[in-house]
A and B are shown apart, each in its own frame.
Chain A
Amino acid sequence: GEDVEQSLFLSVREGDSSVINCTYTDSSSTYLYWYKQEPGAGLQLLTYIFSNMDMKQDQRLTVLLNKKDKHLSLRIADTQTGDSAIYFCAAHTGRRALTFGSGTRLQVQP
């Protein structure tokens, strides 16, 4: 089945760019998602990319997809303290449900 991997932790300074990386194993994944989870809260859908796209930009967020290497990244420009959270990468294949990574904790230092 699908396996999704992420690095566990990233620390950046306020105003810098953050890049969170994710790899997945199932090349038939059709949609790839980024979710944000703040302490004690549910998951907030940030953005997604369809597998036939290389890049998607949405305000401060840029998603890059390298389908050959099965690598996905989320870039947050001008990172703010309010961006501190856990970010989950998720893949959707033929199954109806999503497969999530373990999450990357982003810490933004003032």
Chain B
Amino acid sequence: DTGVSQDPRHKITKRGQNVTFRCDPISEHNRLYWYRQTLGQGPEFLTYFQNEAQLEKSRLLSDRFSAERPKGSFSTLEIQRTEQGDSAMYLCASSLMGSTATEAFFGQGTRLTVV
């Protein structure tokens, strides 16, 4: 296990379509985060899981967004009825609860382009 992996790396979709992204965290990490990064900005928090429980959701996470982590391992982020404003890099990160610094390790991201 070399780190956090995300799939796909790139996704181009037409407006109105649904898309789903997958994140596989570092295997022993029990915390998983989703962030969104638009051009020229830092990542913005979307949602966070501890094991399979979704503990926090940002106001950025509209009703069209849903995230799951059914077995406390990998996670999926689905966007329904995509809009052009959803175009961004979607980053996943994981960390280990109880680690001294709660440092989060990030995946390479999924770049979404809505046309």
Contacts and interface: CB of A to CB of B under 8 A. Distances in A.
Interface residues of A, number: 23
Nearest to A44: B106
A43 B106 contact: yes
A42 B42 contact: no
A97 B106 contact: no
Given A42-B91, A97-B56, A50 B40 contact: no
Nearest to A41: B108
A30 B4 CA distance: 24
Contacts, number: 58
Contact of B48 (A35, A90, A97, A102): A97
Contact of A103 (B41, B101, B108, B109): B41
Contacts of A45: 103-106
Interface of B: 4, 31, 33, 35, 40-45, 48, 50, 55-56, 58, 91, 93, 101-109
